[in-house]
């Protein structure tokens, strides 16, 4: 019996090794199956996103001025000498405010598909007020709001306020001591603004990109992205009731971070420096609060975690492309308006070309 012990032990060892190999193969097979399923989900999500982008592009290509009964109005701005405060209000639709391109003059242009928008320009001392209104059918009918464009000279103001009752706001290349952007429901995109910025949306997404100056953003429902080209002493605040709140800061900046997420998680990749002259407060009631480094032109660093939904990988790819656009903007190779258009296209929602805009505007 003693002579059989080595043989029995050998057989037992081989059986154990066989079990371990079988278990390893099962794990590898499960991992491969999960990978294939994740790739299939990502492919379906990407195909769906491309279909939505194509539909949005087709909708955006439809010029309101081409519809029956469409009307367009354009009014030049008066001389702005002595004007330090500027207030712009739009009833509903899409409101774009940017600096003049080469060959353009300061003006207000608006179009609507049903009736001509009313454009009122009033001066009161050092304040200039611009009002764009649509008389009827703007709230409950699709594409009935005004498409308004305000072209401003490339000069700073003391105060700038832009408000849209319902719809989109797009601001690019503006500078003022204080800037206020607000919409009741819709999206706000601010590209390369300079000044003390405050943005609010009752419901909708807020994107503040390549900003210089302190900033505050609030949204009841919707994601907020605050991308800082430079950090100045002061307070930065991002508050979201339901959604993701993210702040991106330049590498090496010293900031004190105060982050909170009621129902969700906090993803803080930047060390907090107590007593730093810049304070960043990020709060999300239901969702994620994130603070990470901003590296233009490079994809965000990979973080080990459980495989997430396919849309997460697509969001990361889109963020990397947005950062590349911002790098081109900071290098002066594209204008703030071109950066805003490129970022809108990356998100699958390109804005419609305004009637009469020069090609490439």
Q: pLDDT per residue over 18-50, tens digit each?
A: 888 888 888 888 888 888 888 888 888 877 777
Torsion angle of the four alpha carbons 227, 52, 339, 78, in this order, in degrees rounded to the nearest 10 = -110
pTM as predicted:
0.68
- Each residue's pLDDT tens digit, 68-77: 445 788 999 9
* Residue 216: how many other CB atoms lie within 10 Å: 19
* Residue 265: how many other CB atoms lie within 10 Å: 11
Paired strand residues for 149: 96, 109
Give the pLDDT band (50/70/90) at residue 296: low
With beta carbons less than 8 A apart as the criterion, state whether 107 and 76 touch.
yes
Tell me the chain's radius of gyration from C-alpha atoms: 26
Place of tokens 């605050």: 226
Specify the pLDDT at position 142.
45
């Amino acid at each position: 019996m003693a002579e059989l012990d080595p043989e029995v032990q050998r057989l037992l060892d081989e059986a154990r090794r066989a079990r371990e190999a079988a278990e390893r193969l099962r794990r590898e097979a499960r991992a491969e199956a999960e990978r294939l399923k994740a790739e299939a989900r990502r492919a379906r999500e990407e195909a769906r996103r491309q279909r939505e982008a194509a539909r949005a592009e087709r909708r955006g290509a439809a010029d309101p001025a081409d519809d029956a009964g469409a009307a367009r109005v354009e009014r030049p701005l008066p001389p702005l000498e002595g004007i330090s405060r500027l207030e712009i209000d739009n009833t509903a639709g899409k409101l774009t405010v940017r600096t003049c391109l080469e060959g353009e003059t300061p003006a207000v242009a608006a179009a609507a598909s049903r009736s001509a928008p009313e454009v009122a320009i009033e001066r009161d001392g050092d304040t200039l007020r611009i009002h764009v209104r649509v008389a009827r059918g703007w709230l409950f009918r699709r594409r009935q709001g005004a498409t308004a464009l305000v072209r401003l000279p490339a000069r700073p103001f003391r105060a700038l306020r832009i408000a849209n009752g319902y719809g989109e706001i797009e601001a690019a290349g503006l500078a003022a001591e204080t800037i206020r952007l607000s919409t009741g429901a819709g999206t706000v995109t601010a590209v390369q603004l300079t000044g003390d910025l405050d943005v609010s949306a009752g419901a909708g997404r807020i994107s503040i990109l390549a900003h210089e100056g302190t900033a505050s953003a609030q949204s009841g429902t919707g994601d907020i992205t605050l991308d800082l080209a430079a950090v100045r002493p002061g307070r930065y605040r991002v508050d979201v009731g339901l959604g993701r709140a993210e702040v991106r800061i330049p590498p090496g900046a010293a900031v004190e971070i105060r982050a909170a997420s009621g129902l969700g998680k906090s993803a803080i990749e930047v060390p907090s420096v107590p007593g730093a002259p810049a304070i960043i407060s990020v709060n999300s009631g239901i969702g994620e609060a994130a603070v990470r480094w901003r590296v233009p032109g490079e994809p965000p660093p990979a973080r080990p975690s459980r495989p997430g939904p396919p849309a997460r990988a697509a969001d990361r790819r889109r963020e990397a492309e947005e950062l590349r656009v911002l790098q081109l903007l900071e290098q002066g190779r594209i204008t703030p308006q071109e950066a805003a258009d490129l970022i809108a296209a990356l998100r699958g929602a390109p804005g419609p070309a305004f009637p009469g805009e020069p090609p490439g505007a």
